[in-house]
């Protein structure tokens, strides 16, 4: 149970992509702070497994399958949450399509179908969750939305143009939602993780590439899912009641300097 201004006792949270590395850590952190949490993801088995494991720890977590690219599925998730816990106070838009990353290269080689699929999950999904959750939040006096964007939504790269563009769009969506609904008590912020050590990362990214990223971090390690989850809890809580429309990197300082100069001595 959380305490002080970061307690989420009595709050209801929804986490999309909740069965993945960052998602599971976020669900656990929100529930440990006192929230009732709906763990939502696209595949039945991982949702059931993750929710059961967290519930076995004594946390108030239930699972629900959702396809965030489908408005009907999103609407059903919101209705399920309201029916189960009475409302929504916290929305963590964490779901993202990662299975297409290897094929996501540059603009010239971009298959239009891949572009549309990435944006459907990474950008339309959060829009749909906001569309259906915001009225529920307003009815309860307000709430906090946290969109999980990426450092690749804040800077360019030679590859992953669809992913990066979707995350850049999510930054804009964050500010538009914050601007439109702040007066009604709804805050909306974005978290921009750097390279986070998850099971998917360990499986897909060779160690030398991980080390290359780590060498460019001002804090000389890769991030953990708990690094992201801790900030989500803070932004969800009353401790962050005057913070909205902001993008907060969790990247060990990766974007705070010129990485090409990082090997030079400080003195």
Pairwise CA distance, residues 13 & 38, whole Å: 6
Q: Which among 18, 29, 160, 163 is annotated as catalytic? A: 163
Mean pLDDT across the chain, nearest whole number?
Answer: 94
Is the overall model pTM greater than 0.85, yes or no? yes
Q: What is the pLDDT of residues 50-91, one digit of tens each?
A: 999 999 999 999 999 999 999 999 999 999 999 999 999 999
Which of 27-36, 165-174, 209-218 has the least mean pLDDT? 209-218
pLDDT > 90? residue 3: no
Q: Determine what percent of the chain is predicted with pLDDT higher than 70.
A: 96
At residue 2, the pLDDT reads 43
CA distance 109 to 88: 41
User: What number does CATH give the domain 4-191+228-251?
Assistant: 3.40.50.720
What are the helix and strand counts (H, E) for the chain? Answer: 9, 7
Q: Tokens 């709050």 label which residue? A: 11
Q: Is the pLDDT of residue 145 over 80?
A: yes
Residue 163 annotated among the catalytic residues of the structure:
yes
Number of residues assigned to the chain: 267
pLDDT tens-digit series, residues 221-244:
999 999 999 999 999 999 999 999
Which residues are CB-neighbours of 59 under 8 A, at least 6 positions away?
28, 31, 32, 37
Kindly tell me if the per-residue pLDDT of 106 is higher than 70: yes
Output 207 or 71, whichever has higher pLDDT.
71
CA 164 from centre of chain: 14
R_g (Cα) of the chain, nearest Å: 18
Closest CA to 259 of 194, 196, 203, 204: 194
pLDDT reported for residue 202: 84
Q: Tokens in use for 137?
A: 């939040």
């Amino acid at each position: 149970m959380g305490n002080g201004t970061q307690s989420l006792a009595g709050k209801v949270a929804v986490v999309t992509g909740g069965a993945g590395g960052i998602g599971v850590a976020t669900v656990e952190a929100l529930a440990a702070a006192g929230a009732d949490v709906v763990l939502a993801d696209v595949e039945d088995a991982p949702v059931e497994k993750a929710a059961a494991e967290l519930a076995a720890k004594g946390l108030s977590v239930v699972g629900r399958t959702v396809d965030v690219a489908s408005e009907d599925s999103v609407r059903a998730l919101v209705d399920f949450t309201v029916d189960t816990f009475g409302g929504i106070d916290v929305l963590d838009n964490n779901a993202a399509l990662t299975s297409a990353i290897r094929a996501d290269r540059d603009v010239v080689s971009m298959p239009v179908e891949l572009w549309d699929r990435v944006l459907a999950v990474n950008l339309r999904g959060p829009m749909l969750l906001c569309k259906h959750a915001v009225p529920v939040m307003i009815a309860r006096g307000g709430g906090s939305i946290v969109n999980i964007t990426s450092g690749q939504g804040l800077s360019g790269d030679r590859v992953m143009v669809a992913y990066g563009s979707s995350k850049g769009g999510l930054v804009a969506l964050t500010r538009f939602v914050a601007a439109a609904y702040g007066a009604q008590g709804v805050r909306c912020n974005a978290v921009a993780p750097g390279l986070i050590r998850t099971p998917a990362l360990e499986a897909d990214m060779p160690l030398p590439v991980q080390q290359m990223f780590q060498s460019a971090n001002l804090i000389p390690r890769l991030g953990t899912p708990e690094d992201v989850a801790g900030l989500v809890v803070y932004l969800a809580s009353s401790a962050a009641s005057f913070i909205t429309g902001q993008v907060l990197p969790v990247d060990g300082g990766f974007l705070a300097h010129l990485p090409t100069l990082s090997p030079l001595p400080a003195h």
